[in-house]
Amino acid sequence: MIAFPETWLPGYPAWLDVARDVALWDHVPVKEAFARMMENSVSVPGPALDALRDAAHAARATLVIGLIERVSAGRGQGTLYNTILTINAEGQVLNHHRKLVPTYTERLVWGPGDADGLRVVDTPLGRIGSLVCWEHWMPLARQALHEQAEDIHVATWPTVKDMHQIASRHYAFEGRCYVLAAGSLMRAGALPEGLDLLPELQANPDTLVMRGGSAIIGPDGAYVVEPVYDQPAILVAELDLRRNLQERMTLDVTGHYHRPEYLNLDIRYSGRQTNDTDPK
């Protein structure tokens, strides 16, 4: 399987945090950056999705990719979503998850998602789930996936800094599953033109505003592959899923370390779930 970071396609809007005046009403440079982001976002369905499906099929790989989703027509056609797609080796879309709550400044550019993609899917590699960024601090979102018996979890982040490493390792330990924590690299010079960047970034466009930090974590919370910062890297590991079973002896938050007679989780699906049964 191959995992990519949060909104890797077409790229995370890091300018929300490193440019001045992004929250000003009717600020033309920011509106232009948003329009450019919308133009380059992915419609589901659409030609960019078709290319991703073809790529997964050609690579014979399960693909889990973070992207910015554009609704191309009908209700919501002016709204963008922070989305993860899971595509199997036959080119079928297995899951379509929209981030439940955009985080802080992200609310300027993305709409709130829903629970329809809060699912774990079967693949020949095992059962795969995913969450976006600060969803890893939403206890009920975590529990929703834990109860679906994840083997491998993809944690998409813009960059996997220290607290994000802690959240990813905690998820692996709590869920007794492997976690692929995926983060991006981005330099200040790659940010949209016309924005007033912070002075230190204007002086050095090679400064990394997102430093990567991707890592692979085992079901005991320990690193299988240590985080890699400040350089491009493809992290590779073979995962022994029997380790998930071993670790559940001491902790199972869906079973012997859970009290469902006192604590209960209710997930309300809206029916938006993407069903793509057309193999490539």
Q: Give the residue numbers annotated as catalytic, written as ranges.
A: 6, 99, 133
> Which of 239, 83, 273, 80 lies closest to 150, judged by CA?
239
Burial of 241 (0-12, 13-18, 19+ CB in 10 A): middle
Measured distance CA(97)–CA(116) in Å, rounded: 7
Phi, psi angle pair for 129, to nearest 5°: -135, 175
Amino acid in the structure at residue 62: T
Measured distance CA(11)–CA(26) in Å, rounded: 23
Phi, psi angle pair for 95, to nearest 5°: -150, 150
> Which of 83, 10, 30 lies closest to 192, judged by CA?
30
Amino acid in the structure at residue 148: Q
Measured distance CA(48)–CA(150) in Å, rounded: 28
* CA dihedral for 42, 150, 164, 260, sign (positive or negative): positive
Q: What tokens does 240 get?
A: 């022994």
Torsion of CA 213, 217, 223, 227, to 10 degrees: -10
Measured distance CA(42)–CA(232) in Å, rounded: 24
